[in-house]
């Protein structure tokens, strides 16, 4: 067609060039079902990314969610040490078995595969990225509510591959006050935008120190500017972790599961909130209607704690992806599962705070259940972009 805009989602034509978005997402195996994948990132090494990953996993596990950690920091794996795991991962014909912590957090790390913990991983980027992908595809994770990924530091080749290959639902940025925070957060925000992954929050680690003798709070690395930086990038959740000798010693002794402290509870609430969403699906006779921009009806599902609470079929009172984005946002929709959709439509929906899971077809009821138990097969996933929201955005109710 000479007047083709390449916006397949808003185009009603069934032309032969119609495309679904390209995807590099890898699928898990039949023994794994992961509901939410949360990446923990940092601008550089040593700021406490592994500590934050561990604390979040322990917190969600204490809240009775089935929790896992995929240690994607292949050249500097810290997770086995933090949890005192010395056992090596065993394999079966079906796949690799996780190494589980005392309280039942499932983990996989390159250190659980190496003969000696001190063996260095001197591998080139593609091999490292391939290993992370295999941790996702070949490990038998079982039913997991929240998987935390301890990402390699920075925004290089490996983190990029991880973002492209694993269905990351949200990221948490870990910084420390002495870093060039604005620049580091800016880079992470841009990467998240490129990958269409929402930012759930920032943790400022080593934010302050409380004197055990007099109780006075010291900002060892100077005054924090994390609140301003967070508001600059419309990130609502900011948590601060103090420098705490007990944290360091528990990480070193492998007893991080016994940590005491509620510093990350707000962030944990936000992560928990990703299970509460309002889902819309273009509807046609119980099937996913494949032309988002021309959907005349939507089935809307209210999801609480990952379960369908209510559902209804509603007529759309408009046409075209721009108007439909406004219509769905007005109904409080946070997530759209659809078939064909163009980049422009995805961006419009992201700007309206709606996450898009594209390239899905078939019976709506079935696909929604697949989505809820983490086994939906889609050709792509695009998510809401906090940066573009004029009023910021509570992450509760957002995410995959
Ligand atoms: N808030 C804190 N209080 C005390 N010690 C801390 C704190 N945060 C981190 N540490 C210590 O600093 C060291 C580095 O932390 P951690 O391994 O979590 O960093 P990282 O960002 O994951 O580093 P890398 O990417 O290099 O693995 C660890 O020994 C940890 O125990």
32-273 and 275-388 in the same fold: no
Which helix (H) or strand (E) segment is 97 a member of?
A: strand 96-97
| Averaged pLDDT for residues 318-322 | 77
Detail the residues annotated as belonging to a binding site: 43-50
Q: 381: pLDDT confidence band, cut at 50, 70 and 90? A: very low
Distance CA 341, CA 358 (A): 7
Q: 363: pLDDT confidence band, cut at 50, 70 and 90? A: very high
Distance CA 199, CA 190 (A): 10
Residue ranges per domain, the chain? 32-273, 275-388
Q: How far is the CA of 279 from the centre of ligand 1 (A)?
A: 38
251 pocket-lining for ligand 1 (C-beta < 6 Å):
yes
202 pocket-lining for ligand 1 (C-beta < 6 Å):
no
pLDDT in the model for residue 236: 79
The label of the residue with tokens 């972009």 reads 385
| Averaged pLDDT for residues 258-273 | 88
Q: Among the listed ranges 106-115, 308-317, 390-399, which one has the minimum average pLDDT value?
A: 390-399
CA atoms within 13 A on the CB side of 331: 26
46 pocket-lining for ligand 1 (C-beta < 6 Å):
yes
Distance CA 330, CA 349 (A): 12
Q: How far is the CA of 83 from the centre of ligand 1 (A)?
A: 14
Query: In three state form, how does the secondary structure of 286-319 look?
Result: CEECCEHHHCCEEEEEEEECCEEEEEEEEECCCC
Between residues 384 and 346, the one the model is more confident about = 346
Q: 378: pLDDT confidence band, cut at 50, 70 and 90? A: low
| Averaged pLDDT for residues 128-132 | 84
From residue 65, alpha-carbon distances to 53, 166, 185, 198, 236 in Å are 15, 20, 29, 21, 24
pLDDT in the model for residue 389: 34
**Packing angle of the helix pair 49-62, 265-273 (nearest 10 deg):** 70
CATH fold for the domain made of 275-388: Nucleotidyltransferase; domain 5 (3.30.420)
pLDDT digits (tens, 9 = 90+) for 47-84: 899 999 999 999 999 999 999 999 998 877 889 999 99
pLDDT in the model for residue 386: 33
Instruction: DSSP letter for 89, please.
Output: P
pLDDT digits (tens, 9 = 90+) for 13-42: 555 555 544 557 778 888 899 989 999 998
78 pocket-lining for ligand 1 (C-beta < 6 Å):
yes
Name the average pLDDT for the chain.
83
Which are the contacts of 64, defined by CB distance < 8 A and separation ≥ 6? none
Distance CA 146, CA 144 (A): 6
95 pocket-lining for ligand 1 (C-beta < 6 Å):
no
Between residues 378 and 221, the one the model is more confident about = 221
Distance CA 348, CA 337 (A): 15
Structure tokens at 23: 């995807």
- Of all protein residues, whose CA lies closest to atom 9 belonging to ligand 1? 48
- Of all protein residues, whose CA lies closest to atom 11 belonging to ligand 1? 248
Distance CA 187, CA 323 (A): 32
Can you identify the CATH homologous superfamily of domain 32-273?
A: P-loop containing nucleotide triphosphate hydrolases (3.40.50.300)
pLDDT in the model for residue 108: 95
Question: Does position 280 have pLDDT exceeding 90, yes or no?
Answer: yes
pLDDT in the model for residue 338: 92
Question: Does position 138 have pLDDT exceeding 90, yes or no?
Answer: yes
Instruction: DSSP letter for 360, please.
Output: -
Q: How many CB atoms lie within 10 A of CB 277?
A: 23
pLDDT in the model for residue 5: 60
The label of the residue with tokens 């138990």 reads 373
For 24-41, give one letter per residue: b (16+ CB within 10 A) or e. Answer: ebbebeeebbbbbbbbbb
Distance CA 245, CA 175 (A): 18
Q: 219: pLDDT confidence band, cut at 50, 70 and 90? A: confident
Residues of the chain with pLDDT > 90: what percent?
Answer: 36
CA atoms within 13 A on the CB side of 219: 10
Instruction: DSSP letter for 259, please.
Output: -
Q: How far is the CA of 53 from the centre of ligand 1 (A)?
A: 10
Distance CA 179, CA 329 (A): 37
User: Which ipTM was obtained for this model?
Assistant: 0.95
For 340-361, give one letter per residue: b (16+ CB within 10 A) or e. Answer: bbbebbbbbbbbbbbbbbbbbb
Q: Among the listed ranges 105-114, 191-200, 212-221, 257-266, which one has the minimum average pLDDT value?
A: 191-200
Structure tokens at 323: 């108007």
């Amino acid at each position: 067609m000479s007047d083709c805009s390449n916006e397949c989602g808003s185009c009603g034509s069934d032309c032969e060039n119609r495309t679904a978005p390209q995807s590099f997402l890898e699928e898990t195996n039949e023994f794994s079902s992961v509901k939410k994948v949360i990446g923990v990132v940092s601008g550089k090494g040593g700021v406490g990314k592994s500590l934050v990953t561990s604390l979040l996993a322990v917190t969600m596990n204490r809240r009775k969610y089935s929790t896992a950690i995929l240690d994607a920091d292949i050249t500097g794996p810290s997770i086995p040490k933090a949890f005192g795991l010395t056992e090596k991962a065993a394999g079966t014909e079906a796949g690799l078995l996780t190494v589980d912590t005392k309280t039942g957090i499932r983990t996989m790390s390159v250190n659980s595969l190496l003969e000696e913990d001190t063996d260095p991983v001197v591998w080139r980027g593609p091999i490292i990225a391939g290993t992370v992908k295999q941790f996702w595809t070949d490990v038998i994770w079982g039913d997991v509510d929240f998987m935390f990924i301890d990402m390699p530091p920075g925004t290089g080749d490996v983190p990029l591959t991880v973002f492209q290959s694993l269905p990351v639902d949200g990221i948490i940025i870990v910084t420390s006050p002495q870093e060039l925070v604005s620049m580091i957060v800016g880079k992470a925000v841009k990467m998240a935008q490129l990958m269409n992954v929402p930012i759930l929050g920032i943790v400022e680690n080593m934010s302050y120190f409380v004197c055990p003798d007099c109780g006075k709070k010291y900002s060892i690395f100077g005054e924090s500017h994390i609140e301003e930086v967070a508001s600059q990038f419309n990130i609502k959740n900011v948590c601060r972790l103090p420098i705490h000798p007990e944290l360091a010693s528990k990480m070193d002794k492998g007893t991080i599961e016994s940590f005491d402290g509620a510093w990350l509870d707000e962030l944990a609430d936000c992560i928990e909130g990703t299970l509460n969403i309002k889902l819309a699906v273009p509807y046609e006779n119980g099937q996913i209607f494949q032309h988002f921009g021309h959907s005349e009806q939507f089935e809307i599902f209210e999801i609480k704690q990952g379960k369908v609470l209510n559902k209804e079929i509603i007529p759309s009172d408009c046409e075209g992806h721009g108007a439909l984005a406004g219509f769905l946002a007005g109904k409080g929709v946070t997530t759209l599962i659809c078939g064909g959709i163009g980049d422009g439509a995805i961006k419009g929906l992201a700007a309206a705070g709606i996450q898009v899971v594209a390239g899905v077809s078939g019976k709506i009821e079935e696909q929604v259940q697949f989505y809820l138990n983490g086994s939906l097969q889609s050709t792509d996933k695009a998510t809401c972009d906090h940066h573009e929201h004029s009023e910021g955005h509570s992450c509760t109710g957002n995410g995959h």
